[in-house]
Structure 1
Amino acid sequence: MKHISILVPKGAILGSLEGTRQLFTEVNQFCKMRGEKPLFSVQLVGLSRETPVSGGLFTVHADSLIGDIKKTDLIIIPALDGELENAIEKNRDFIPWILKQRSNGAEVASLCLGAFLLASTGLVNGRKCATHWLAANQFRQLFPEVDLVPEKIITDEQGIYSSGGAFSYLNLILHLIGKYAGREIAVLAAKVFAIEIQRDNQLSFTIFQGQKEHEDEPIRKAQEFIEQNFQERISVDELASKFALGRRNMERRFKKATANSVNEYMQRVKIEAAKKSLETSRKTVNEIMYDVGYSDTKAFRTIFKRITGLSPVDYRNKYNKELVDA
């Protein structure tokens, strides 16, 4: 029987904590219906018996304290709430215990913003890690040694797991159920809980907001210029000259400040504008392509799919309200 420790951090988001517990315990019910022994021993593990979560709206009663658990097979870190650096500090006492259990062979999984506590352990240094796309910029600033992959729904690297934003944690739990209990049980759980089981990325959910949480004022002005003139064809040389920077210096500082090259940033701004038009208008794909400054249909479709994970037509079919309601 696999021992699963679902942590109860101070300020955890209740949904990811309870949803995880419910999925694993339901698998035990599936086993019982088949006349088989349960597969999982699931415990809520806290720093104290009573822990306020979801901004203090709820209190969770832990089954055990970390000092009571000598050995576990899987540690689940649920999503955190509030200001994330404060959340890490409030829950720092979990870190030595997580590291000790990992050294004893435990696997560790973070859900959504739980990645911030996972990254604080150092266990994902040099590894891939996912989190909510909204927190990607802050995550990169706090943990530059981690290979953040904000487009991913799931990462799985040698017993260290993470999930993307919000309810995508359900896909990671199904992945773990499939690993421990088999594909058949994972599919059954997906059907019972009405979860789409085959989801590879969260690109189509991502809203590009620009990365302006930095102190490089010329680069911030360059970003604003790109966003205000995205329909125009702007070269890197023109942009560098406009803000009195050499091209190499511009590219280096832009990448450091935004985690995108200048050209990548321009593409993302254009594609974000195209997405909004696809969601709200009845313009053709070609009309929208020209509106955002592209003239090459193949290039536009290729870049759009790389950034969103969908073709322009598939994106429109999924998110355009008039089409959905038709």
Structure 2
Amino acid sequence: MSDHGIRVGILLSDGIWMSMPDMLLDILQSVNMRRESQLFRCDLVTPLPGPVQSFSGRKIYGDVHIEAVKERYDVIYLCHFWGDVESMAESCAKITPWLQDQYANGALIAGVSSGAFWAAQAGLLDGRKATSYWRHMKDLAKRFPKVEWQDNQALVEDANLLTSNAGNAAMDLAMHLVQRFAGEEMATEMAKDITHDTRRTYDLTLFNIAGLRQHRDSSVHKAQDWLDSNYHDKVEFNQLADDLGMSSRTFIRRFQKATGEKPTRYLQRLRVEAAKHQLINSDNSIKTISLDVGYRDFGFFSQVFKSLTEVSPREFRRRFRPGNS
């Protein structure tokens, strides 16, 4: 983040759904109003001079076109579009080098549904996990076979590249950006204020700590993948290090260098995020939730939870459960 706040470039292209940039702009402006400051500064960016034509046939004018962009953005938001990807790739050839340059200079790339196409076209998703709109998934998998497409995941982050696969997930992605740059409490209060229900058939647990994946150590990513799937079980870090071909000391050092957290603290964060999701979205007792996320000692669970959220599990549920005052 620069002294000028979070710079967000919203990429427009022919066929985009107008609701995508409009929704993000409204959410981020709501945060600015609540903070009484311009935390988020947004530009609508077009591939070429002149307007693009939306899916509904409306002309949309950008603030700047790619060749005139002088900003190094903190976030590039790739809008969902409806159109033939072959012709899109040919007509918008300038997008690929621009995205590569922005990503190389530290921009977080967030693709909504078919917007993931642009990140894949730029080669940014090669060897990484991603998702997209289900209707496009088969064609994208054929066109970009090096991408690990996740057809059962609504939200995915890998190495500072975020993708989502549907309209609801687009709102979840917007709220995640709020959480990431304006804080968890702001995101939770915003979700309640706009009656955005995060109770889906998928779990947002892993997406909420996706910021800890902003690195390119493939071995540490493998460790995170394993922990993400097994956090509720007993974890033997010595065995995990051995499975990755490292000594325990080397594993801890590389994990902390890549994520900023020791493996034990990362595991605690996973468990607390899973507990938060249940506290908001289920009627399970707090002791049951403690067991579900891997803590047999309820007192220790409460201690860890408060160390990461500054409130007890009971207070968290009281504050943030939908319908509570």
TM-score under structure 2 length normalisation: 0.57
Aligned to 1:47: 47
Partners of 1:192 and 1:48 in 2: CA distance: 37
Aligned ranges 1:39-188 → 2 under 5 Å:
39-55=39-55, 57-66=57-66, 67-188=68-189
- 1:141 aligned counterpart, secondary structure: helix
Higher Cα Rg: structure 1 or 2?
A: 1
- 2:163 aligned counterpart, secondary structure: strand
Shift of 1:151: 1.4
Letter in 2 for 1:120: Q
Contact 2:14-2:55 within 8 A present in 1 as well = no
Shift of 1:189: 2.1
Per-residue CA distance 1:47-76 (angstroms, 9 max, x = gap) = 235323333611111112222233111100
- 1:43 aligned counterpart, secondary structure: strand
Per-residue CA distance 1:114-141 (angstroms, 9 max, x = gap) = 1111110111111111111122111111
Per-residue CA distance 1:247-296 (angstroms, 9 max, x = gap) = xxxxxxxxxxxxxxxxxxxxxxxxxxxxxxxxxxxxxxxxxxxxxxxxxx
- 2:30 aligned counterpart, secondary structure: helix
Aligned to 2:15: 11
Aligned to 1:218: none
Aligned ranges 1:179-218 → 2 under 5 Å:
179-199=180-200, 201=202
- 1:196 aligned counterpart, secondary structure: coil
Aligned to 1:215: none
Shift of 1:31: 0.9
TM-score under structure 1 length normalisation: 0.57
Percentage of pairs with the same residue:
24
- 1:185 aligned counterpart, secondary structure: helix
Aligned to 2:35: 31
Shift of 1:6: 0.5
Shift of 1:86: 2.0
Kindly tell me the number of residue pairs found equivalent between the two proteins: 198
Q: Which consecutive unaligned segments of at least 5 residues does structure 1 have?
A: 203-326
Shift of 1:101: 1.1
- 1:55 aligned counterpart, secondary structure: coil
Shift of 1:91: 2.2
Partners of 2:184 and 2:191 in 1: CA distance: 10
Shift of 1:200: 6.3
- 2:123 aligned counterpart, secondary structure: coil
Per-residue CA distance 1:183-203 (angstroms, 9 max, x = gap) = 11111221233222354639x
Q: Which consecutive unaligned segments of at least 5 residues does structure 2 have?
A: 204-325
Per-residue CA distance 1:66-108 (angstroms, 9 max, x = gap) = 2223311110000011222222332221111111111111111
Partners of 1:120 and 1:48 in 2: CA distance: 18
Contact 1:5-1:43 within 8 A present in 2 as well = yes
Contact 1:132-1:166 within 8 A present in 2 as well = no
Given the superposition, is the C-alpha separation of residues 195 and 142 from structure 1 closer, same or farther in structure 2, using an over 3 Å criterion?
Answer: same
Given the superposition, is the C-alpha separation of residues 5 and 130 from structure 1 closer, same or farther in structure 2, using an over 3 Å criterion?
Answer: same
Letter in 1 for 2:81: L
- 1:178 aligned counterpart, secondary structure: helix
Letter in 1 for 2:188: V
Contact 1:6-1:76 within 8 A present in 2 as well = yes
- 1:161 aligned counterpart, secondary structure: strand
Given the superposition, is the C-alpha separation of residues 135 and 68 from structure 1 closer, same or farther in structure 2, using an over 3 Å criterion?
Answer: closer
Q: What root-mean-square deviation, in Å, do the aligned CA atoms of Structure 1 and Structure 2 show? A: 1.8
Contact 1:50-1:59 within 8 A present in 2 as well = no
Partners of 2:193 and 2:96 in 1: CA distance: 34
Partners of 2:93 and 2:167 in 1: CA distance: 22
Partners of 1:56 and 1:133 in 2: CA distance: 21
Partners of 1:45 and 1:89 in 2: CA distance: 18
Letter in 1 for 2:20: S
